[in-house]
Amino acid sequence: MPAAICRERNDSCYTSRVRLKGSLCVLLFLLVAADRPPWRARARPGLRHNRVAALRVSPEDWPPEPNSPTSIDSTRFARALTLLCGWMPPGRARLYTEKIVQAAEEFKEDPFLIGGLIYRESRCRPTKEELGGLGLTLLPFTMYRGSFQRRTYRYRVLNENHRWEERSLALNRFPFIPRTLLQAEPNIYFAAALLSAWRDQDATVDAIFEQVPHRHYVSHWVWGDRVRSHRAEDRILGDRRRLLQYYGALAPAAPIRVDGIFFGSPLDGAPRVVSSAMGSERPGGRIHRGIDIESEFGEPVRAIADGRVVFAGVDLPGNRHNERLSLDEINSYNRRDLGLGGRYLCISHSREDAEPLVSCYMHLETVEVEYGSQVALGQRIGSVGRTGMLRSSPHLHLEIHERDQLLDPQQLLAGHLIGQPQDKPAMKRRRRASGLAR
């Protein structure tokens, strides 16, 4: 057909071209619309990520997370939650358990995830306000308030036809206001609901917004639509594993047999992340004689193998590095008077046809076994602290001695300990940061 004829507006050729062009425009619009969500990216205010910590471990380093039991024994869960939190009045543990189980059932969420989140975000304190969040789960009110209308939370997902579909959760039990979120029951209720919405939206936001790789939708709880670091979820999921272990639904990681000794993890909820490697440089030209393991203040420290306590005491400045004391003396010693090792203890582990190995646990807040006592693999021997430190956050320093040499605990406890330790580079003195790193 001549081109001139096609220029006539009532010609069928022109009409076909217009229709084709219109169809292409609609398709292009749909593709663009799919890439540009109909809401502004949500973010927790004021949060930044710790670049050094993010290099220590990757999502691929973690084994699959264990499943939760299908039915919950409230008494066992309350006891496990008390162990995780460190201490709570019995009535409070029972109340939290009741509300966690109720909300988890209503929104089909994992109660052990909610329990781990409560510990990680607030250390189980209902009036906590930090990191742009409120209450037990540090729920970021400002991130969600624009999506609430008449006690209904609305959000969108891309359906199987790549079209935006609005979904909603009717949340009628409490008003969504800051004052309410500082109460335990409403905070748990809204946390379970919003976690379920993130679970539903997870694939959509991961595809639409730029993210770092991560394993679980709980990362969006921390960051919002754009996940900037996977380390927050690592810690929350670690707390979930601890809660499962205290409940009795998860056995401690299987011991490793080396030279006739069965070795296990020094901390619960293994695997745990090594934050500082053996042999790294320390201020004053010192060399790191062991490893540091990420941990929280007050966490139980476990014997890595059967053995006998050959030292329980403190490290003191000057020439008095190894002062053996009674438990009362150790735990009452003024921390400001302690040397670099702080409160610590060492255990001798007998081997087949070889000299014993000796494991030492340093910077402890409490020492809980006496010199000369026999201990078993996995027995609680103390708690994580920061004695002997000036600036570092609480962690466990672990050393393993063989005669006059040191062994690398990360190699000996491979599988229980993971990560590529990244020590912080030397930095110029600067104004103190706000402490919002994740």
Residue 386 and residue 329 share a domain: yes
Same domain, 220 and 269: no
Calpha distance 402→411 (Å, rounded): 14
- Of 177-191, 220-234, 348-362, 419-433, the range with the lowest mean pLDDT is 419-433
Whether residue 380 has pLDDT greater than 60: yes
In a domain, 133, yes or no: yes
DSSP letter at 283? G
Question: Is residue 339 within 8 Å of residue 317, measured between CB atoms?
Answer: yes
CATH no. for residue 327?
Answer: 2.70.70.10
- The pLDDT of residue 11: 43
pLDDT > 70? residue 283: no
Buried b (16+ CB within 10 A) or exposed e, 348-365: bbeeeeeebbbbbbbbbb
Give the separation between CA 361 and CA 292, rounded to whole angstroms: 10
**94 falls within a domain:** yes
Tell me: do 242 and 302 sit in the same domain.
no
Q: Are 283 and 241 members of one domain? A: no
The domain in which residue 319 lies consists of 256-418
- DSSP assignment of 219-248: HHHHHBSS---SHHHHHHHHHHHHHHHHHT
Q: Which two tokens stand for residue 227?
A: 């996940």
Residue bearing the bigger pLDDT, 382 or 429:
382
Q: Based on the domain organization, do 230 and 323 belong to the same domain?
A: no
Do 178 and 86 lie in one domain? The reply is yes
Q: Please name the amino acid found at residue 251.
A: A
In a domain, 428, yes or no: no
Number of other CB atoms surrounding residue 409 within 10 Å: 24
Same domain, 105 and 151: yes
Number of domains within the chain: 2
Sheet holding 148-149: strands in order across?
A: 148-149, 152-158, 164-170
Of 98, 153, 79, 88, nearest in space to 122 by CA: 88
Give the contacts of 259 (CB within 8 A, at least 6 positions apart): 351, 352, 354, 357
Q: Are residues 384 and 414 in the same domain?
A: yes
Give the DSSP H/E element, type plus range, for residue 129: strand 129-130
Is 298 part of any domain? yes
The last residue of a domain, from among 247, 269, 297? 247
- Above 50 in pLDDT, residue 225? yes
Read off the pTM: 0.87
Mean pLDDT of 368-387: 97
The pLDDT tens digits for 158-196 are 999 889 999 999 999 999 999 999 999 999 999 999 999
Q: Are residue 234 and residue 261 in the same domain, yes or no?
A: no
Q: Are residues 217 and 282 in the same domain?
A: no
Give the confidence band of 437 by pLDDT, cuts at 50, 70, 90.
low
Neighbouring C-beta atoms of residue 433, cutoff 10 Å: 8
Considering 247, 268, 303, which residue would you say is the last residue of a domain?
A: 247
Task: Answer yes or no: is 352 within a domain.
Answer: yes
Both tokens assigned to 254: 């299987």
3-state secondary structure at position 50: coil
Helix axis angle for 111-122 and 184-208, nearest 10°, is 100
Assess if residue 13 is contained within a domain: no
β-sheet bridge partners, residue 396: 293
**Domain annotation covers residue 17:** no
Burial 65-84 (b: 16+ CB within 10 A, else e): beebeeebeeeebbbbbbbb
* pLDDT computed for residue 401 by the predictor: 94
Claim to verify: residue 224 and residue 77 sit in the same structural domain: yes
The predicted structure's pLDDT at residue 121:
97
Alpha-carbon distances of 211 from 180, 202, 214, rounded to whole Å: 32, 12, 8
Distance of alpha carbon 130 from alpha carbon 123, whole angstroms = 12
CB-count burial class (<10 Å; 0-12, 13-18, 19+) for 258: middle
Distance CA 74, CA 77 (A): 5
Gap between the Cα atoms of 424 and 438, Å rounded: 15
Structural domain contains residue 40: no
Both 66 and 121 in a single domain? yes
What's the pLDDT tens digit per position in 46-83? 888 888 889 999 999 999 999 999 999 999 999 999 99
Residue type, 321: H
Question: How many CB atoms lie under 10 A from the CB of residue 221?
Answer: 25
Q: How far apart are CA 344 and CA 97, in angstroms?
A: 35
pLDDT tier for residue 378 given thresholds of 50, 70 and 90:
very high
Hey, is 12 helix, strand or coil? helix
Instruction: Write out 350-394 in H/E/C secondary structure.
Output: EECCEEEEEEEEEEEEEECCCCCCEECCCCEEEEECCCCCCCCCC
Determine contact, residues 315/388, Cβ cutoff 8 Å.
yes
CATH number at residue 240: 1.10.530
Chain mean pLDDT for the chain: 87
Task: Answer whether 133's CB lies under 8 Å from 181's CB.
Answer: no
Q: Decide: 148 and 176 in contact? Cβ < 8 Å.
A: yes
DSSP state of 58: -
Domain end position, chosen among 247, 270, 289: 247
Confidence band of 205 (pLDDT split at 50, 70, 90):
very high
